[in-house]
Structure 1
């Protein structure tokens, strides 16, 4: 069982779900997802690590957001949580939005990041097509009142690839369940902040000094492998891995493979808290 703690940050109250003990590992999910994206990683890691899984701003049981924000402010939220829990340094695992936050955190606050695993992230601004797709999705959700039917197909195609849609029904069920709980007004601000107004951070990531593993899903429709590879190339010394048969939500689609990659990488970069 995980314990929940709510912590005040620059972007409101953030819910953090904790389990296990040892060196801390912080988990930040994708846009429109909450801490349950990491259910299998929490169970896997909690035997050796103190796992801290976020409901990010405006998602899950964290406070709704009422304005746009920056990735730097998200990094400040992480620091606020670490300070409140008296954690000077942590490992960081992030997916998409979480990967972007982890990269900025490592660049801005290198002393707080022991290592980082960044899944399906980017250092680049959103393309016009990506801005349009997400704008249409949240506009339709606002009209309908939620991300439930008839938006199911659009949500699934955004996050899952053909392999998962064909052979992993449990992943599809989880995506739709979590997305249906999203606060639509918060989602609008989050999409504007994380997608539409996302800056070019390639230059910033040149200052990252922590060990970093960047992972791409070959079937990801949001960030193609080439874009994730470019993120890895922007980070000095970053390792880069491509996973076949999976798309944007790797932790949910191929949890065993992600658990293996994360465990092996963290084991190489243990530290004394």
Structure 2
């Protein structure tokens, strides 16, 4: 299946998106420190039936580096700009962590643009004191070292991947390590600040979501443990919830086949009426 890269101007810079396949649109937004390749297995699986749009989010991958923080509303506007540029009226929204939060924001603010939502490893809650301190220290050390090197890469792996993946999925570990180390700390520090210490409490906003929504967590996710994912699911009216055993914060690359099966089942039960 052929793929084409598009470079789309938004308020948060030009975003590179990889468009593959034909059919109903499926937009995929990854986690902090990840790029569109987080979704390689999903693109390979779904692009025979869907137009997959895998995003390099602001400040990541081949998108324009960030020079300031942002709001979740600005990110949601960026999703709308992508769809407008590609002349897509409605899309299935799939997001991981940062992508789950932006997907939820987009669903709440622009319900007429959404077919269904799959929100993975996300939260609706503001960052706690410990998480703010941990990520603040991570940014300081990364700035001193000039990037994610040595022990900082290990810290990111520990935050994103659980013991099962670290022990049994070397290809997933290497994928995450390589992507984390490729980040420009001068750019991604603005994203980290926006998504962690400055993250809003979205629980009231998520109560406005009216589209079919599947929320997925990982049993070994230390960043957003199952209880936090469950709280997010309670905030979304009628949301379905699934906690995947033996995986952590980057389910799409840790257990891609299981994720694809879960999404297939969800989409099969929520076919759009138009």
Shift in CA distance, 8/22, structure 1 to aligned 2, threshold 3 Å:
same
**Deviation per residue, 1:56-104 (Å, 9 max, x gap):** 0000000011111111110000000101111010001000000000000
Q: Deviations over 1:204-254 (max 9, x none)?
A: 111100000000101001001000000000000000001000000000100
Q: Secondary structure at the match of 1:94?
A: strand
| 1:140 positional shift | 1.1
1:220 alignment partner in structure 2: 221
SS in 2 for 1:196: coil
Structure 2 unaligned segments of length 5 or more: list them.
none
Conserved? CA contact 2:126–2:200, under 8 Å: yes
Please tell me whether residue 202 in structure 1 is matched to residue 203 in structure 2. yes
Deviates more, 1:17-26 or 1:130-139: 130-139
How far apart, in 2, do the equivalents of 1:183 and 1:111 lie?
35
TM (norm. structure 2) is 0.98
Which consecutive residues of structure 1, in runs of 5 or more, have no partner in the other structure?
none
In 2: Cα distance, 1:51 partner to 1:271 partner: 17
Is structure 2 residue 265 aligned with structure 1 residue 233?
no
Query: Do the aligned partners of 2:153 and 2:180 also contact (CA within 8 Å) in 1?
Result: no
Q: Is the 8 A contact 2:148 2:180 kept in 1?
A: yes
1:152-180 Cα distance to aligned partner (Å, 9 max, x none):
22111010000001111111101110011
Instruction: Supply the distance in 2 between the matched residues of 1:148 and 1:38 (Cα, whole angstroms).
Output: 24
Q: Is it true that 1:20 corresponds to 2:21 in the alignment?
A: yes
**1:113-128 alignment runs, 5 A limit:** 113-128=114-129
Distance in 2 of aligned mates of 1:120 and 1:45 = 20
- Kindly state the Cα deviation for residue 151 of structure 1 after the two structures are TM-superposed: 1.7
Q: Residues 241-256 of structure 1 correspond to what in structure 2 (within 5 A)?
A: 241-256=242-257
Change (3 A) 1:85 1:151: same
Query: Where does residue 174 of structure 1 map in the other structure?
Result: 175
Measured against aligned partners, the alpha-carbon deviations of 1:169-203 in whole angstroms (never above 9, x if no partner) come to 11110111001111101111101101110010100
Show the 5 A alignment for 1:136-155. 136-155=137-156
**1-side partners of 2:59 and 2:271: how far apart?**
32
Are residues 1:105 and 2:114 paired? no
Q: What is the rounded CA distance, in whole Å, between the counterparts of 2:3 and 2:134 in structure 1? A: 35
**What is the CA-CA distance between 1:269 and the residue it aligns to?**
2.5
The answer for the alignment partner of 2:63 in structure 1 is 62
Residues 32-41 or 141-150, more deviating: 141-150
SS at match of 1:151: helix
Q: CA deviation at 1:272?
A: 6.6
